[in-house]
A and B are shown apart, each in its own frame.
Chain A
Amino acid sequence: MNWDLVIFYYLAFAMVISSILGVLSNNPIYTVLLVLVMIVHQAFLLLTLGSEFLTAIQIIVYAGAILVLFLFVVYLINLRKETTRSIFVRRCSLALIIFLIFFGMFFTNLMLVFRNKPFIQAYLPFNFNEKASDVWWIANYLFKNYLLQFEIIGVILLIAVLGSVFLIRKVKSINN
């Protein structure tokens, strides 16, 4: 039995199912938990590709930071059951359009994969097991080949931080 394949299919199915359940769930806390399950599986998918670093970062950033903040928001507005379904339903047409665009892209790519010439192709610019650990490779690519992009992302994140601080200040001055 090909265990790699078994593990891959398990992870893939678990991710798909937990995402669908997360969308369908009425309870916001369960939604966050199902997304957590999805993210952990995604991290292990990265592990099967040989990247321990990305696995750890995925869990630290998404599960350890972002989702916890989501959980906080859900706590603070104290929703036991989701009461705002109508907003989602009202914007259903928009969601449908976006879904159709993505589905079209996915479907055409899938068709092209069967004819063996996909136009969106995932690839790694290096082989993880080749020379050094994946940390070394990723650092090398980030700080040599993609330094400018990396710095731009840094600036964007800084702007986001400043923006959040600015928002809080504004609220305070109104209160006073």
Chain B
Amino acid sequence: MIEQLLNLLNIEIVKVILAAVIMVAVTLLHVAYLTYAERKIIARMQQRLGPNRVGPRGLLQPFADMLKLIFKEDVIPKAVDKPTFWVAPFISLVCAGAGVALIPIWKNFVLSNINVGLLFILALSGLGSYGILLAGWSSNSRYALLGGLREGAQVISYEIAMSLALLSVVLMAGSFNLGDIVNAQLNSPFKIYLIPQIIGFFVFMISAVAECNRTPFDLPEAEQELVAGYFTEYSGMRFALFYLAEYAGMIVMSALAVTCFLGGWAGPFDIPYIPFFWFFLKFYFILFCYIWIRATLPRYRYDQVMGLGWKILIPLGLANVFLTAIFKLIF
């Protein structure tokens, strides 16, 4: 019976679906525990205890939060534009999370090995801004609209800088495929692109923080000015979807930084039976830096955010592309 079923379905398809389901589960777990880690780390940095009631050391806190959000009433204000109000959180989450499929976790494991993986991640992050813009508009509220507008402008500006930083990586590696980029790094003299592309890494990390709307660039959701920004009118599970999207975006950006600048799955020596050890080590380090930045820095003013993006990061990125091209020509 089962054999017939397996014959009926193509084995390859079953494998891909299984891998995708595992990947989604792992990503969601990461998202859940990222919120826990963030609260715990920031608490330690501010000499507090952080969540410590649910389960040992508060380890079950994310599940408690999730249950609370699922069972909360889903309030939809009367004056909202319903179709866009419904669809906006999903656009946000899907576009933020789908990038995970393109990241090579270890040498032989990447869910979707396409030729232009890097461009695809950029395209997804470009589409992600629709979710936020639409959420802001459809809420029919001043705070949400302003938050959405700020977010849209910020994402568009920083996407240019990020693309430029990644473009110099593509120039060095000679490929848009993320697996090929890692392999090219391993064949380069420094083994990682962090050293020759230090400017690119700097530009990329700052724009990645801005893309994910994290402090110090969390203008769109600045509590003191805009209540909660574009998701002011959302509640319950829909609110949680935006929350998930933010953390999924962080995960994709960190994984992208590891893949493009820190040598992906490779490490100084192989760990037997755990091929993804080095990838996750670097990945957690970058996530820790995200949290660290949030605990340390105050928020920028809006014109400072825009000025940083357009007047510093984009020229730096362009200069970096130019330098990389010249070095590539000479050597």
Contact = CB atoms under 8 A, between A and B. Distances in A.
Interface of A: 29, 33, 36, 52-53, 55-57, 59-60, 63-65, 68-69, 71-72, 75-76, 133-135
20 contacts: A29-B81, A29-B134, A33-B134, A53-B119, A53-B176, A59-B126, A60-B122, A60-B123, A60-B126, A63-B123, A63-B127, A64-B129, A68-B126, A68-B133, A68-B156, A72-B152, A75-B137, A75-B148, A135-B116, A135-B176
Contacts of B120: 52, 56
Nearest to A64: B126
Nearest to A57: B119
B130 interface: yes
Which 5 residue pairs are nearest across A and B when measured between Cβ atoms? Answer: A64-B126, A56-B119, A59-B123, A133-B115, A52-B116
Nearest to A60: B123
B80 interface: no
B66 interface: no
A29 B84 contact: yes
A57 B163 CA distance: 12
Contact of A53 (B116, B145, B152): B116
Contacts of A75: 133, 137, 145, 148-149
Contacts, number: 66
Given A68-B129, A75-B137, 5 more contacts: A60-B123, A64-B129, A65-B156, A75-B149, A135-B116
A71 B119 CA distance: 23
Interface residues of B, number: 25
Given A29-B84, A71-B133, A72-B149, A64 B127 contact: yes
Interface string B123-156: 1011101100110010000000100110011001
Contacts of B125: 64
Contacts of B130: 36, 63, 68, 71
B159 interface: yes
A29 B119 CA distance: 27
A72 B153 CA distance: 9
A56 to B, nearest CB: 4
Nearest to B118: A56
A14 to B, nearest CB: 16
B29 interface: no
B126 A65 contact: yes
A59 B116 CA distance: 13
